[in-house]
Structure 1
Amino acid sequence: MQTAPHADGVVIGGFTDHHVHLQLVDHASLAGSRLGRVIDLGGNPEVLTSYAGSPRFVSLRSLNDRKETLRSLSERAPATQARRGELRRASVEFAGAFLTPPGGYPSDRSWAPTGSFREIADEADAATAVAEMADAGATRIKVASNSTAGPVFADAVFRTIVELAGARGLPVVAHAEGPGQAQRAARLGAATLAHAPFTERLTEEEIAEQAASVSWISTLAIHDDADRARAIDNVRRFHAAGGAVLYGTDMGNGPTPVDLNPREIDALREAGVEGAALLQALHPVDPSDPASVQLLLPEGDADPLHAQILEV
């Protein structure tokens, strides 16, 4: 009977990127990555359904452009072996289209694919839209609340979306951008902020309220200069207050890798999210799941960038 190669360390499932846009990247490249799960937060639900239902296994013979990546991974951790034969593809979850008011973000953005946003005029529209996303297989609902880019929902409509989504067992993820929008989204019932707040420095009282009620998806590496500094400062204090930080890159926002993002990892460490907290933010999937990428983290090495794809 063939035995698995010996390697000292801890076997885990692939990591989770909690904020991606698969229609804006070469999603097939996930097959050679260290990601075991991705969550799309804004795309055409019909297209995303096809991604979510695609085969879990991809032959390495069709991944010639990934061989150099796999070779470099093996060189960084000689005690491990790259998987031979087949690589498991990351599982895909999605929110479906952005729900936004007429003329709201991202309806005027050239990068937004057809069907990736759904304009909601009132509570009746909200009920139809939530049902459409849920019926398409969404595992959460995405709400746009970006006051710097156009109108945002009235409180009553936002609350209605939260209630309707909750009735279908779906948490609401909010793109909160602009003064006061992070606090408003949390107050109106959003479970998660799609981006760590970056347009303003939250007060200590606001940080405490956020830590008690919502989780934040990091997306720190998409920012530069003042926005980046504010976001990292907010995450540092949010994490210290016990808030739940989730690794997410906004994959597709600029030239982001379809894999773990070293710049995002570095920014999280800068914000004090490291070691066990960083692994928790990356949310490894169950290594016994046959659909999961299998990774090994060398014992005593909490750096997820050293994770290797293994034959297990």
Structure 2
Amino acid sequence: MIFDLLLTADAAWLGERTLAGPTAVGVRGSEIGWIGPSRDAPSAVTRTHVDGVLLPGLTDHHVHAAMIRPEQLLAAGVTTVLDLGWAPDEIWPLVDRARSDPALPHIRAAGPFLTAPGGYPSRQSWAPPRVAIEVEDPVSAIRAVESLVARRPATIKVTLNSEAGPVVDDATLNAVVGAARAHGIPVTAHTQGHGQTRRAYLAGVRVLAHTPWTEELDDSLVADLARDTTIVSTIDIHGWGEHTRDRRTALHNLRRFHSAGGTVRYGTDLGNGPLPIGVNIREIAALTDAGLSPVEILRAITGAPLRPGATADVSVVPADPTADPAVLGQAKAVLKAGRPVPARADGD
């Protein structure tokens, strides 16, 4: 059996606590067809060796892709992004383009935010027209969810930001979650303001778009969240490296959530403020500060481990990320769906 491409490296991370030795990945079309020790590698049309460590492609679980140049993320090893809210006439064409454009990462999206009439972010100066669907009662909430289903959104995003305007009531929030659940779609909430994280949890929301930062969560709520909720980190938006009060509160909440066994995902809110394009090493450092081990950070920033049958999304970094996760920001080679991605030029 001859593969289209054989990519070899000095080591690989296959989801365990330690690295495997010299490893080869055989690619056929857009999928991994074989993976194993380099000494047993099959034949291939093209063979490429990279000095470094093979990893699954990296994922940023919170971006706003229309506000950045997403091709810069791909060249940095981020092969998949989750866009958590944008105007439908901008984000859906970008999602469609990414399916066939080898220069773009895979883009999964929520589509427009759901919010209360006049709620965040419908009145924000940065928000384009139609960035949000305003829902005022359970009937309009169900209608809004149904309007998004045809696009097969990765999640439904609801905003509960009581510091920036009105928020939906409990009945409307319950209707959003119920309608989304009926279609097998998760709901992600932006919670900001006293009590909003608890409201989201009680309504059945099981993904938080940000680590809560406007209040210290009580221990019982942290324990509840840790059982079945995922938190997307986004710590660096609070000061961009400065030690602000909001950052301290978020870190305290995330540290307790992780300690209780909660699931943490790497996410940056890229497009919001002066965040670096690519892997944000300050966000990686924040995950370390929250108590995640290097292997836990790898699990937070990658999808499924490299395996036959998986989409051939691969990032190669120069050294062992289980020893120093900062090397995640130093991609040496990248495959998206089996196709090599050109390296970033200096200054990109």
Give the direction of change, closer, same or farther, for the CA distance of 1:308–1:301 in structure 2 (3 Å limit): farther
| Residue pair 1:127, 1:161 contacting (<8 A) in 2 also | yes
Amino acid at match of 1:153: V
Correspondence 1:90-239 to 2 at 5 A: 90-224=105-239, 225-239=244-258
SS of the aligned residue for 1:7 comes to strand
Deviation at 1:12, TM superposition (A): 2.1
Among candidates 74, 90, 100, match of residue 47 of structure 1: 90
Paired residue type of 1:309? A
User: More displaced, 165-174 or 249-258?
Assistant: 249-258
* Alignment correspondent of 1:308: 332
Query: Which amino acid is 1:275 matched to?
Result: P
CA-CA distance at 1:302 after TM superposition: 4.5
Q: Which residue is 1:37 aligned to?
A: 80
- Cα pair distance change 1:291/1:94, threshold 3 Å: farther
In our comparison, the structure showing a higher alpha carbon Rg is 2
What are the within-5 Å matches in structure 2 for residues 66-77 of structure 1?
Answer: none
Which residue number in structure 1 is paired with residue 293 of structure 2? 274
Give the Å deviation of 1:214: 1.3
5+ long unaligned stretches in structure 1: 59-86
Conserved 8 A contact 1:49-1:137: no
Range with greater deviation from structure 2 (297-306 or 180-189):
297-306
Q: Say which of 55, 71, 87 aligns to 1:12.
A: 55
Instruction: Answer yes or no: is the 8 Å Cα contact 1:15–1:285 preserved in 2.
Output: no
Distance 1:298 1:177, change over 3 A: same
Q: Deviations over 1:112-140 (max 9, x none)?
A: 12221110122221122111222123111
Q: Is the 8 A contact 1:88 1:292 kept in 2?
A: no
Q: 1:55 to 1:212 in 2, by over 3 A?
A: closer
8 Å Cα contact 2:76-2:329 kept in structure 1: no
User: Which deviations, in whole Å up to 9, do the C-alpha atoms of 1:213-265 show, x marking residues without a partner?
Assistant: 31111010001311000000111111000001111101111022231111111
Decide whether the 8 Å contact of 1:39 with 1:92 is kept in 2.
yes
- 275-284 vs 100-109, greater mean Cα deviation: 275-284
Provide the C-alpha distance between the structure 2 equivalents of 1:297 and 1:166, rounded to a whole number of angstroms.
42
Q: CA deviation at 1:55?
A: 4.7
In 2, Cα distance between the equivalents of 1:239 and 1:31?
28
How many Å apart are 1:16 and its aligned residue? 0.8
In structure 1, what residue type is equivalent to 2:300? A
Cα distance change, pair 286–89 in 1 and its aligned pair in 2 (3 A):
farther
Partner of 1:21: 64
TM-score scaled by length of structure 2:
0.76
What are structure 2's unaligned runs of at least 5 residues?
Answer: 1-44, 341-348
Q: CA deviation at 1:108?
A: 1.3
Of Structure 1 and Structure 2, which has the larger fraction of its residues in strand? 2
Q: Secondary structure at the match of 2:300?
A: helix
Aligned equivalents of 2:57 and 2:318: distance in 1? 11
Cα shift at 1:291:
6.0
1:185-219 per-position Cα deviation (integer Å, ceiling 9, x unaligned):
11111011111010111122221111113111101
Deviation at 1:105, TM superposition (A): 0.7
Q: Is the 8 A contact 1:198 1:227 kept in 2?
A: yes
Tell me the CA shift for residue 274 of structure 1. 2.8
Inter-CA distance 55–243: structure 2 relative to 1 (3 Å threshold): closer
Return the structure number with greater relative CO, CA threshold 8 A, min gap 6: 1
Structure 1 pair 125/241, CA: closer, same or farther in 2 (3 Å)?
same
Number of residue pairs matched?
Answer: 283
Deviation at 1:164, TM superposition (A): 0.1
Q: Say whether the 8 Å CA contact 1:172–1:192 is kept in structure 2.
A: yes
With normalisation by structure 1, the TM-score equals 0.84
Matched, 1:295 2:316: yes
Distance 1:8 1:261, change over 3 A: closer
2-structure distance, mates of 1:245, 1:233: 14
Task: State how far apart, in whole Å, the 2-side matches of 1:138 and 1:55 are.
Answer: 15
Q: Greater share of helix residues, 1 or 2?
A: 1
Are the counterparts in 2 of residues 18 and 39 from structure 1 also a CA contact under 8 Å?
yes
Instruction: Show CA shifts across 1:161-183 (max 9, x none).
Output: 00000011100000000011111
